[in-house]
Chain A
Amino acid sequence: MKKLFDQERVVGAALMVFSITALVILLLIMLFILDGGLPLFNKVSVSDFLLGDKWVPAKGLFGASQFIVAALLVTFGAILLSVPLGISCAVFLAEIAPGWAKRIVRPAIELLAGIPSIIYGVFALIIIVSLVRVTFNVATGETILAASIVLAIMILPIIISISQDSIESVPRLYKEGSYALGATDWQTIHRVLVPAAGPGIVAGIILAMGRAIGETMAVVLVIGNVEKMPAGLLDPGETLTSAILLEMGEAVVKSTHYNALFCLGLVPFILVLFMSVLSSRLTTKNKARFA
């Protein structure tokens, strides 16, 4: 006999609807940004937008290359600073730290990930900006470098926890195989464990890059916000996301300026999407290898 409500099927269907919602929201956001941004290209060519370096909305100039370059510089600066630190910390936690140190350090690092970004920004504005100004003897500490440093601190927890998990998931057998041949701790770590955990570590770094390129609040406070092509790490600059934050309030809805700001958002959106896919593919590949 067929029941009116088959509980199993109702629950199954409900869960499916909920999970599809996430996908629908993602698609809607994508459509919304495309809809807001693409009309720009009726007035400005794609290459003028991506390669031009004059951003004067009043004159109809929408060259965004200085924002793109600043965003990439900030991101790579942050990665360069946090990767060596993060991997070292992960190796320490996974292989060397005694139990009690692990129990203190790991939660502290996870707490670091939970601090709101504006707090990082304020901290950086007071400490890091002054530090950069004094150390490098520049007119203002509000530079790409200051933003890189604060971002490096912010993405450190991602890199540490993912790297530590990947190192710990390397099968014990590899470790024993290495020790049985007369390898020292250090030889085992750098010749077997870290390479075997490599794909997982890279996935973590990519995820961290995605986080860095999208971060707005902490960056906008310390980067100086000058709409000029930065010549180096000690120049101020303005990233894609900080430009959106600073100008969205004054842009008239549906104006070309408004369209252009959406396009600024489209750039990190596509980059992050691409990076997430790459990162998750690396992670699954890694899991398959150890199965």
Chain B
Amino acid sequence: MDSKNKIEVKDLNLWYADKQALKDNNLHIKERKVTALIGPSGCGKSTFVRCINRMNDLIDGVRITGSILLDNKNIYDKDVDVVALRKRVGMVFQRPNPFPMSIFDNIAYGPRIHGIKDKDSLRKIVEESLVGAALWDEVSDRLGTNALDLSGGQQQRLCIARSLAVKPEVILFDEPCSALDPIATGKIEDLIHELRKKYTIVIVTHNMQQAARVSDFTGFFLLGKLLEFGKTRDIFENPKKKETEDYITGRFG
């Protein structure tokens, strides 16, 4: 049986000042599945994913219409607490962005801002999160060292661990491997495969093989519009629209 819809996007439009970046998008994201969003640069896939944790609120001049339901509750309603939303919907960015502090403090950052002070609880969360992000074995003996001393791939897994530490339900990945080499990329993909057992995952990627490898559903964006959406296998083997086919066969993009 199909799992339930975790996120339902309805008629989503977004403008940067006068420029419309997203046009009438509708999309359902299934719980505990990986949904990949592909498309050429500038097609709005990153902008789209940043609507789901209201990251676009930070940018001046952004206007959004439509709704995004998370467990049937519109996250753009006036009474929504953005802090609580972002706790439920974590995000991993294009470039690894650990804070300039120790590995431990990076992971403990989230729990601490949400009020956990007890050292033992923090230590437990840090360990669980690092284990969850497949980084524990590599760093367990040096949690006090500066996170910026880690390699790029380790830093990205640290960022994943950091978002796991606040116990999210959804994790958004915004081109998480674009700054990484193939080996580090492979590790992140394995990790995403593991994480889908517990979390709903949305991943933006410009790498189509990656979308094919890690995702259950794929959406193809072009010029701010979700052009085609379906099971990953269907999209890649039997695309309905010509633009989708052209893109995944590498004829443009």
Contact = CB atoms under 8 A, between A and B. Distances in A.
Contact of B99 (A179, A184, A187, A192): A192
B100 A289 contact: yes
B187 interface: no
A181 B113 contact: yes
A177 B174 CA distance: 12
A219 B175 CA distance: 58
A196 interface: yes
Nearest to A198: B100
Interface stretch (B23-31, B81-89, B120-128, B210-218): B81-89
A173 B113 contact: no
Most chain A CB inside 10 Å of its own CB: which residue of B84, B109, B162: B109
B142 interface: no
B171 to A, nearest CB: 10
A176 B90 CA distance: 11
B213 to A, nearest CB: 25
A179 B101 contact: no
A174 to B, nearest CB: 6
A159 to B, nearest CB: 22
A181 B171 CA distance: 11
Nearest to B97: A173
B114 A177 contact: no
B83 A196 contact: no
How many chain B residues sit at the interface, stated as a range, is 20 to 34
B6 interface: no
A183 interface: yes
A174 B86 contact: no
B130 interface: no
B97 A171 contact: yes
A288 to B, nearest CB: 11
Given A176-B55, A176-B58, A177-B159, A183 B113 contact: yes
Interface of B: 53, 55, 58, 83-87, 90-91, 93, 95, 97-101, 109-110, 113-114, 148, 159, 162-163, 166
Interface of A: 171, 173-184, 187, 191-192, 195-196, 289
